[in-house]
């Protein structure tokens, strides 16, 4: 099993000292990397900026990136070699249209920033997914959770989508626990209890393992 995982936030530069980012810690993606490695997988962990140290398992190769474009380049270069893809990164949806060469100086009372859409890493890879490859996405939703998550599953060609509901206390960003629901292309829905991210990682990895095409005996 060869697993490609994206994790953490992306930082989209505005000028040499500023960026647009988000509060993703990367914990979920790193926990998934460790859990897949413990199951004997070779893991490529493509990580945005986090405070976490590189996992020490010799089966995990960590590649550090900053922007969505860099994360996409790293992922597309290795995607064909992996049979499982896990998109755990909180990729910035937009990036500044222009990156200022010099620090932007304080001037008027308002500042308008023009943003342009970032590449959708999961959706782009979804277009080149082979039938034996298995793709897992995440969806963080605050309303119409299951419908939105299923829309993402279809648009991005996921086999499995992990829905994180922010309505559940103790779930999501900045918490060490998550409450997930797994949704699948065939309509199966599995609801899990609030658990630590390490336990959630085990639930997700177990689900992926049972759904992978079995190697011929």
Q: Which does 85 bind (CB under 5 to 8 A by kind): Ca ion, ligand CTP, none?
A: none
Specify the stretch interacting with Ca ion by CB under 5 A; choose among 67-75, 87-95, 150-158, 167-175. Answer: 87-95
How long, in residues, is the chain? 217
3-state secondary structure 84-95: EEEECCECCCEE
Q: Which does 60 bind (CB under 5 to 8 A by kind): ligand CTP, Ca ion, none?
A: none
Longest CA span, the chain:
70
Picking from 17, 204, 189, 20, the residue whose alpha carbon sits closest to that of residue 105 is 17
Cα–Cα distance between 86 and 176 in angstroms, integer? 19
Picking from 62, 22, 19, the residue whose alpha carbon sits closest to that of residue 172 is 22
Q: Which residue has the tokens 């990156």?
A: 99
Residue 15 sits in the site that holds Ca ion (CB under 5 A):
no
Q: Which does 139 bind (CB under 5 to 8 A by kind): Ca ion, ligand CTP, none?
A: ligand CTP
The residue (of 7 and 41) whose beta carbon lies closer to Ca ion is 7
The residue (of 78 and 93) whose beta carbon lies closer to Ca ion is 93
Closest contact distance (angstroms) between CB of 118 and Ca ion is: 9
The residue (of 11 and 36) whose beta carbon lies closer to Ca ion is 11
The residue (of 155 and 206) whose beta carbon lies closer to ligand CTP is 155
Residue 93 sits in the site that holds Ca ion (CB under 5 A):
yes
Answer yes or no: are the C-beta atoms of 152 and 158 closer than 8 Å: yes
The residue (of 117 and 206) whose beta carbon lies closer to Ca ion is 117
- C-beta nearest to Ca ion: residue: 93
Which residues here bind ligand CTP, judged by CB under 6 A?
6, 68, 87, 89, 91, 93, 118, 120-122, 137-140, 152, 156
**22 in active site:** yes
Question: Which sign does the torsion angle of CA 150, 213, 27, 64 carry?
Answer: negative
Residue 199 sits in the site that holds Ca ion (CB under 5 A):
no
Residue 120 sits in the site that holds Ca ion (CB under 5 A):
no
Closest contact distance (angstroms) between CB of 192 and ligand CTP is: 17
Under DSSP, is residue 44 helix (H, G, I), strand (E, B) or coil?
strand
Catalytic residue selected from 22, 51, 102, 178? 22
Cα–Cα distance between 217 and 204 in angstroms, integer? 25
DSSP string, 138-168: EEEESSSHHHHHHHHHHHTT-SEEEEEETTS
Residues that bind Ca ion (CB under 5 A): 93
Q: What residues act catalytically?
A: 22
């Amino acid at each position: 099993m060869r697993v490609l995982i994206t994790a953490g936030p992306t930082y989209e530069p505005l000028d040499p000292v500023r960026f647009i980012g988000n509060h993703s810690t990367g914990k979920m993606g790193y926990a998934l990397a460790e859990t897949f490695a413990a199951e004997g997988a070779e893991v490529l962990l493509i990580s945005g900026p986090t405070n976490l140290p590189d996992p020490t398992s010799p089966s995990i190769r960590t590649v550090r990136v900053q922007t969505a474009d860099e994360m996409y380049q790293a992922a597309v270069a290795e995607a064909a070699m992996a049979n499982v893809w896990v998109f755990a990164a909180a990729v910035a949806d937009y990036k500044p249209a222009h990156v200022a060469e010099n620090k932007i100086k304080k001037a008027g009372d308002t500042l308008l920033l023009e943003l342009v859409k970032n590449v959708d890493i999961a959706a782009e890879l979804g277009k080149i997914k082979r039938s034996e490859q298995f793709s897992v996405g995440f969806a963080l939703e605050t309303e119409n959770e299951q419908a939105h998550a299923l829309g993402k599953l279809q648009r991005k060609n996921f086999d499995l989508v992990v829905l994180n509901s922010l309505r559940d206390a103790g779930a999501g960003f900045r918490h060490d626990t998550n409450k997930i629901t797994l949704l699948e292309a065939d309509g199966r829905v599995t609801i899990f209890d609030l658990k630590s991210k390490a336990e959630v990682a085990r639930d997700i990895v177990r689900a992926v393992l049972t759904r992978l095409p079995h190697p011929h005996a």
